[in-house]
Amino acid sequence: MKCENCTKKECSKKQKNDDKQNAPVDTLSSNDDEEKNEFHKLANAKIFLSDCLACDNCMTSEEGVRVFQQNQKELFRILNLNKKCDVSKHKVLAVSICPQSLPYFAAKFNISVNDAAKRLCGFLKSLGVHYVFDTTIAADFSILESQKEFVQRYCQRNQEEHALPMFASACPGWIRYAERVLTNPVTPHICTAKSPQQIMGSLVKGYFARQQNLSPDKIFHIIVAPCYDKKLEALREDFYAALYNSQDVDCVLTSGEIVQIMEQKNISLTDVTEVAVDSLFGDIKEVDIVRHDGKRSDGYLEHIFKYAAKELFDMDVNEITYKALKNKDFQEVTLEKDGETVLRFAAAYGFRNIQNMVLKLKKGKFLYHFVEVLACPGGCLNGKGQAQTEDGKLDKALLNQMEEMYAAVPVRLPETNVYVQKLYQDWLEGMDSKKVQETLHTRYHAMNQTVNSLDIKW
Sign for the CA dihedral angle at 320, 140, 69, 446 comes to: positive
Report the range of poorest mean pLDDT among 81-90, 93-102, 212-221, 384-393.
Answer: 384-393
> The pTM is what?
0.87
Which three-class secondary structure state does DSSP give residue 344? strand
CATH of domain 58-137+196-271: 3.40.50.1780
Position 42 scores a pLDDT of 52
> Are residues 290 and 421 in contact, defined by beta-carbon separation less than 8 angstroms?
no
- Of the two residues 441 and 285, the one the predictor is more confident about is 441
449: pLDDT strictly greater than 60: no
Position 275 scores a pLDDT of 95
Reported confidence tier of residue 221, pLDDT bands at 50, 70, 90: very high
Position 150 scores a pLDDT of 98
353: pLDDT strictly greater than 70: yes
**Mean pLDDT score across all residues of the chain:** 85
254 bridge partner residues: 225
Return the number of other C-beta atoms located less than 10 Å from residue 152's C-beta. Answer: 12
Q: What does the alpha-carbon distance between residue 315 and residue 26 come to, in Å, rounded to a whole number?
A: 55
Position 30 scores a pLDDT of 40
Report which of 89, 117, 115, 92 is spatially closest to residue 102, judged by C-alpha positions. 117
Q: What does the alpha-carbon distance between residue 218 and residue 214 come to, in Å, rounded to a whole number?
A: 6
- Of the two residues 60 and 14, the one the predictor is more confident about is 60
Q: What does the alpha-carbon distance between residue 189 and residue 370 come to, in Å, rounded to a whole number?
A: 9
Residues of the chain with CATH 3.40.950.10: 140-194+293-440
Cis peptide before 185 (omega within 30 of 0): no
Position 40 scores a pLDDT of 45
Q: What does the alpha-carbon distance between residue 41 and residue 73 come to, in Å, rounded to a whole number?
A: 11
Position 448 scores a pLDDT of 63
pLDDT digits (tens, 9 = 90+) for 99-145: 999 999 999 999 999 999 999 999 999 999 999 999 999 999 999 99
Q: What does the alpha-carbon distance between residue 5 and residue 418 come to, in Å, rounded to a whole number?
A: 41
pLDDT digits (tens, 9 = 90+) for 368-381: 999 999 998 888 99
Position 243 scores a pLDDT of 67
What is the percentage of the chain residues whose pLDDT exceeds 90? 62
Residues of the chain with CATH 3.40.50.1780: 58-137+196-271
pLDDT digits (tens, 9 = 90+) for 164-210: 999 999 999 999 899 988 888 899 999 999 999 999 999 999 999 99
Reported confidence tier of residue 59, pLDDT bands at 50, 70, 90: low
User: Average pLDDT for residues 305-310, to the nearest whole number?
Assistant: 97
Position 19 scores a pLDDT of 42
In the CATH scheme, what is the homologous superfamily, with its name and number, of domain 140-194+293-440?
Fe-only Hydrogenase (Larger Subunit); Chain L, domain 3 (3.40.950.10)
Position 96 scores a pLDDT of 98
DSSP symbols for 346-362? EEEESHHHHHHHHHHHH
Phi, psi of 16 (to 5 degrees): -70, -35
